[in-house]
């Protein structure tokens, strides 16, 4: 079998399709010697993750396209990523690989089967969870934080060298540690990173939104595909950075990310976020839609605008793109005051010219051939976007973002969630289930049915809790609880703790007993962030948040067992365990709810004071006095809030509840800010990390 795993947005997948799979000679070799199988990694993350692990064990690397050669029973014995059409880049040609593999399978069949069995055994052992457990403590957070500090690039921001990837979870962890400790070193790391990223070519300077990663360490030349899940988590980063520092620049970037997502990745008619925007529009293209020659810029702009834009975005006759050296990636090279001095203009005039140049260049770009947008609506990724939009709407007062997020979540719940209630009540075996996809970009794909994986459940529980906190509508809370219960019933390992990535019915038997093909029956408990937040960490966060509202011990116990399952190795994974670190933060610091009752100006002032500081495990709810009754509140709050004397007084007030206990009511915004403690950091204005 020849297995090709790729993605709609994957540039090198497109290259290999054009160079190899479209070649009649390659097609002839494949058809004569192999059963060919193509898998979309976004549609089937469970298949992708297992064969990525297998090819990684064989070659020491993975990625997309993933090319694997399997025995008829699905066990991999050889593989790689991109294979060129001719011997180059230190890699053998794809034709030579195909012929060699076919010959080896026929002539050295026994050795091939032995290799396949060794790989399957290695994968099974690699995915074993024995010896990973340990005690959950704040020391794990410190270990992950120290790893991030050691990898920090002091010159360019970010972590590690080229290629440089986005690491939203570790940025959130650093921000959380900063607001708890006031450590200015942590502040510098996340401020520098977020500023360099937003001014680099990895950020789309015209449309907004981030590309997937940077080819170089300076954030200048990106891989141009743009993913909804990258932008959802980075949106939260910039909102959180605004809360942590008071720097308006971060709020501007957050609004700009929403602008791009609204325009390009949103189903405005029905609700829902599309999956991605491609890097290129044809096989010959490599980011041409996003890049500019100096002549193209001059054609779109007036002479004054072109002069300012060329300095600001570093547009020259020789750019950064190897396939076309005249093409420039737009990034912020010069500050406004520097441009004003060089061109003998006032700073307001430079800003005016920049604003008009940006609008004209974007309009000119819009008429170019446009990279494909994958309009598939994935449940888990949409849930992440819902949470990010609700967070931004809460902090930045964005009513439209809030409305679209709730409409999207309502669509996910109506089209993706099966409550398990039989219409006739006759079938008691109907189980609650969640889909992985609710809408496909390709109409031909409508026949495919994919069931939800752990990520879909965990992110959806979190999104429902976020929606409850945004609206005080108990229906969202009930959805969250029902989904969490279904997640535990379907995915939780009651023996060793932790969650499997696919429903437990498919992994209850050993790989030898399973009827799943090849290594697809291998048990997996996703723990590392790659590229989205890890499912087990997200599930633990969801359960801990539910425990804060319900005081139901099983939720905390299952979260603790999940965290214990990986505590023995978490510190070794550094920044790739950052979401795990956030989950440990939720575990070691009690979930806090700030409940504001009232609808007048005082209540509005209290709400602003509550959402201003960063508190990753703090919820803010706003209730009308008439709605403060036990049936409209989750159990932990229902025991306290309706019985407060302040409610009978008719005044607006705030109550801070933490550790299943509530403090006395607060009637003044300044007093509320003080009661929230060190999370309320002073506004810092402009950062000194880079000059605006």
Task: Give the domain ranges of the chain.
Answer: 2-126, 169-265+275-373, 377-588, 592-679
CB 149 within 8 A of CB 159: no
CA 154 to chain centre: 25
Q: What CA–CA distances, in Å, run from 287 to 145, 161, 209, 226, 278?
A: 35, 22, 15, 12, 9
CB 458 within 8 A of CB 543: no
Model pTM?
Answer: 0.94
| Sheet containing 226-227, strands listed edge to edge, beginning at the edge strand earlier in sequence | 226-227, 276-277, 373-374
DSSP E strands, 146-188: 164-165
As beta bridge partners, residue 377 has 439
**β 66-70/36-40 pair status:** unpaired
Q: Which two tokens stand for residue 256?
A: 């700009």
**β 618-623/592-597 pair status:** parallel
**β 76-80/164-165 pair status:** unpaired
Q: Distance between CA atoms of 406 and 473, rounded to whole angstroms? A: 11
Per the rule left: phi > 0, alpha: psi between -120 and 50, beta: everything else, 286 is beta
Q: Distance between CA atoms of 592 and 425, rounded to whole angstroms? A: 39
Q: Distance between CA atoms of 512 and 523, rounded to whole angstroms? A: 12
Q: Which DSSP category does 334 fall into?
A: S
Give the orientation angle of helix 228-245 with respect to helix 379-396, to 10 degrees: 20
CB 276 within 8 A of CB 384: no
CB 480 within 8 A of CB 543: no
Is the domain spanning 2-126 CATH 3.40.470.10? The answer is no
Q: Write b or e for each residue in 94-126: b if 16 or more Cβ atoms lie within 10 A of its Cβ, otherwise e.
A: bbebbeebbebbeeeeeebeebbeebbeebbee
How many angstroms separate the most distant Cα atoms in the chain? 88
The counts of H helices and E strands in the chain are: 25, 18
Q: How many CB atoms lie within 10 A of CB 30?
A: 19
Burial of 26 per CB tally in 10 Å (0-12, 13-18, 19+): middle
Q: Which DSSP category does 91 fall into?
A: B
CB 636 within 8 A of CB 657: yes
Q: Distance between CA atoms of 185 and 689, rounded to whole angstroms? A: 12
Going by C-alpha positions, the residue among 44, 6, 52, 8 that lies closest to residue 452 is 44
Place of tokens 């794909």: 445
Q: Which long-range contacts (CB under 8 A, 24 or more apart) does 365-370 make?
A: 365/206, 365/207, 365/289, 365/290, 368/281, 368/288, 368/289, 369/281, 369/282, 369/285, 369/289, 370/281, 370/289
**Residue numbers in the chain where pLDDT is lower than 50:** 511-512, 680, 683-692
Going by C-alpha positions, the residue among 522, 430, 452 that lies closest to residue 49 is 522
Going by C-alpha positions, the residue among 367, 459, 357 that lies closest to residue 409 is 459
Q: Distance between CA atoms of 643 and 634, rounded to whole angstroms? A: 14
CB 544 within 8 A of CB 514: no
Q: Distance between CA atoms of 479 and 485, rounded to whole angstroms? A: 10
Q: Write b or e for each residue in 44-71: b if 16 or more Cβ atoms lie within 10 A of its Cβ, otherwise e.
A: bbbbbbbbbbbbbbbeeebebbbbbbbb
**β 437-439/618-623 pair status:** unpaired
Report pLDDT for 143.
96
CB 585 within 8 A of CB 559: no
CB 116 within 8 A of CB 77: yes
Going by C-alpha positions, the residue among 172, 197, 153 that lies closest to residue 585 is 172
Q: What CA–CA distances, in Å, run from 522 to 512, 513, 568, 644?
A: 9, 11, 22, 53
Helix extents (H) in 217-323? 228-245, 248-264, 294-300, 303-313
3-state secondary structure of 423: coil
Level-2 CATH architecture, domain 377-588 = Alpha/alpha barrel (1.50)
3-state secondary structure of 690: coil
Torsion angle (degrees, nearest 10) of CA 164, 167, 170, 176: 120
Q: Distance between CA atoms of 219 and 243, rounded to whole angstroms? A: 24
| pLDDT per position as a tens digit, 419-446 | 876 555 555 556 799 999 999 987 776 6
Helix extents (H) in 335-433? 336-343, 347-366, 379-396, 399-416
Q: Which two tokens stand for residue 605?
A: 């002032």
């Amino acid at each position: 079998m020849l297995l090709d795993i790729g993605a709609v947005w994957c540039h090198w997948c497109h290259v290999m399709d054009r160079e190899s799979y479209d070649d009649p000679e390659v097609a002839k070799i494949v058809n004569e010697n192999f059963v060919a199988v193509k898998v979309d990694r976004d549609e089937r993350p469970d298949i992708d993750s297992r064969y990525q692990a297998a090819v990684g064990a064989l070659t020491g690397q993975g990625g997309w396209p993933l090319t694997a050669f399997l025995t008829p029973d699905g066990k991999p014995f050889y593989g790689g990523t991109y294979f060129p059409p001719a011997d180059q880049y230190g890699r053998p040609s794809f034709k030579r690989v195909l012929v060699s593999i076919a010959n080896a399978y026929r002539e050295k069949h026994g050795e091939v089967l032995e290799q396949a069995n060794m790989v399957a055994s290695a994968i099974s052992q690699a995915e074993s969870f024995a010896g990973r457990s340990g005690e959950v403590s704040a020391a794990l957070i410190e270990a992950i934080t120290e790893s991030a500090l050691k990898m920090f690039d002091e010159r360019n921001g970010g972590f590690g060298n080229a290629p440089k990837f986005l690491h939203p979870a570790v940025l959130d962890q650093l921000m959380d540690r900063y607001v708890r400790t006031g450590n200015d070193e942590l502040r510098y790391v996340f401020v520098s990173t977020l500023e360099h990223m937003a001014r680099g070519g990895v950020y789309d300077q015209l449309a907004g939104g981030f590309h997937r990663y940077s080819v170089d360490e300076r954030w200048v030349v990106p891989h141009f595909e743009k993913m909804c899940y990258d932008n959802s988590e980075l949106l939260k980063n910039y909102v959180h950075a605004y809360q942590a520092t008071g720097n308006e620049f971060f709020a501007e970037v957050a609004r700009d990310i929403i602008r791009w997502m609204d325009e390009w990745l949103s189903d405005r008619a029905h609700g829902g976020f599309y999956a991605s925007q491609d890097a290129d529009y044809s096989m010959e293209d490599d980011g041409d839609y996003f890049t500019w020659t100096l002549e193209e810029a001059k054609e779109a702009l007036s002479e004054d605008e072109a002069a300012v834009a060329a300095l600001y975005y570093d547009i020259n006759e020789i750019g950064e793109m190897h396939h076309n050296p005249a093409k420039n990636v737009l990034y912020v090279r010069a500050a406004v005051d520097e441009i004003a001095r060089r061109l003998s203009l006032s700073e307001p005039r430079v800003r005016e010219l920049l604003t008009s140049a940006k609008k004209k260049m974007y309009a000119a770009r819009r008429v170019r051939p446009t990279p494909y947008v994958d309009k598939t609506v994935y449940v888990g990724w949409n849930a992440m976007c819902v949470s990010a939009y609700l967070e931004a709407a809460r902090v930045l007062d964005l009513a439209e973002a809030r409305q679209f997020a709730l409409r999207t979540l309502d669509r996910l719940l109506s089209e993706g969630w099966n409550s398990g209630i039989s219409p006739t009540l006759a079938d008691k075996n109907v189980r609650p289930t969640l889909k992985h996809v609710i809408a496909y970009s390709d109409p031909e794909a409508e026949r495919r049915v994919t069931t939800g994986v752990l990520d879909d459940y965990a992110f959806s529980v979190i999104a429902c809790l976020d929606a409850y906190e945004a609206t005080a509508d108990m229906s969202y809370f009930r959805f969250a609880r029902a989904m969490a219960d279904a997640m535990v019933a379907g995915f939780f390992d009651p023996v060793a703790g932790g969650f499997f990535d696919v429903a437990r019915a498919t992994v209850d038997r050993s790989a030898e007993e399973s009827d799943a093909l090849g290594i697809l029956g291998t048990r997996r408990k996703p723990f590392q962030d790659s590229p989205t937040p890890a499912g087990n960490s997200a599930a633990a966060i969801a359960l801990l948040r539910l425990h804060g509202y319900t005081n139901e011990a099983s939720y905390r116990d299952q979260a603790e067992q999940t965290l214990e399952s990986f505590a023995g190795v978490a510190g070794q994974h550094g920044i790739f365990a950052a979401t795990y670190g956030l989950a440990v933060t939720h575990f070691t610091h009690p979930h806090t709810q700030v409940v504001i009752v009232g609808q007048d100006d005082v209540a509005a002032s209290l709400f602003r004071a509550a959402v201003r500081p960063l508190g990753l495990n703090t919820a803010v709810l706003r209730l009308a006095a008439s709605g403060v009754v036990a049936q409209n509140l989750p159990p932990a709050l229902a025991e306290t809030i309706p019985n407060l004397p302040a409610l009978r007084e008719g005044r607006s007030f705030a109550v801070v509840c933490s550790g299943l206990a509530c403090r006395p009511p607060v009637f003044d915004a300044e007093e509320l800010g003080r009661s929230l403690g060190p999370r309320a950091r002073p506004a810092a204005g402009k950062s000194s990390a880079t000059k605006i």
